[in-house]
Amino acid sequence: MNLIKQIYLGLFLSALVSCSTGYHNDGHMVVYKSWNEGNGGREDTLNADAATFKILRFEDYGKDDKVAFYKSEIIAGADAATFEAIGEYYARDKNSGYYGKDRVNQSDGRTFTIINPYYSRDRKDIYFETDPLNTVNPKGFKFVYGEGESDCWTTDGKYYYYNRFKVPSEEYANLTIYQNSGGLSKDRHWVYYQGHKLNYDFSGNKIVDTIDAASFIATGFLECRDKYGCFNVVHGRVKCENAP
């Protein structure tokens, strides 16, 4: 099969699949049809009222007069009367914003809006997917690196944030951010990984006694070194490559 035929066949199959997936309502029952290369086609019957069910503007969302859905799943606690889809992954009602089927924690539905596929905001805060950043100055929020990507640095002018994590440095003016490092940064005294000091793991357990901030540099994704040697944020101190 030549390249042109392969392209046309791919486009035909893609169109065929896209037409068959999504919500289907025969007036008596609502099903959500999905498809992926690994498992093929699947149909899930919704516990929905077919007479009042409607597909919303962004078609992975639907609702009847009592319940809202994301794909085949009920959105727990959603207010169907005020529920609306505002993006491919985002929705809101009078009470809250939603990311997929999940409530955006602490969000205000009446003022909830989308920033990009990962970030949203309301009158009081900024959110990464379902998590509030707990910004000090939400009006000052802006992107520093990686806008629209999953590896992203932002700031509110008071603190820096890596994805959902606030860097706990009180030296905002002296913080150095390492792009494409997986969340490494430093100030004059401490080195940080995402939302905690690099000396500790996510559970608060100390994994190394001393990291020298003055000589610290990030050398790659999750890889770094200081005057004492090389360091991996998962494994701690490691032997430097090409070291004698």
Per-residue pLDDT tens over the stretch 7-36:
444 444 444 444 578 999 999 999 999 987
Amino acid, single-letter form, for residue 85:
A
Number of Cβ within 10 Å of residue 16's Cβ equals 11
- Residue 137 confidence (pLDDT): 93
> Which residues, in sequence order, are CB contacts of 66 under 8 Å at separation 6+?
49, 80
- Residue 7 confidence (pLDDT): 44
- Residue 40 confidence (pLDDT): 78
- Residue 138 confidence (pLDDT): 94
H/E element holding 8? helix 3-20
Measure the CA angle with vertex 173, ends 168 and 176; round to 5°.
70
- Residues (pLDDT < 70) of the chain are 1-19, 242-244
Sign of CA dihedral 137, 140, 144, 147: positive
**3-class DSSP state for residue 166?**
strand
Q: Report d(CA 74, CA 64) in Å as an integer.
A: 11
Amino acid, single-letter form, for residue 200:
Y
Domain coordinates of the chain in residue numbers?
15-132, 138-238
- Residue 2 confidence (pLDDT): 58
Q: Report d(CA 66, CA 48) in Å as an integer.
A: 8
Q: Report d(CA 115, CA 16) in Å as an integer.
A: 32
pTM: 0.85
- Residue 19 confidence (pLDDT): 53
3-state class percentages of the chain: helix first, strand second, coil last, to nearest 5: 10, 35, 55
Q: Report d(CA 114, CA 123) in Å as an integer.
A: 12
Look at residues 70, 51, 48, 68 and name the one whose alpha carbon lies nearest to residue 59. Answer: 70
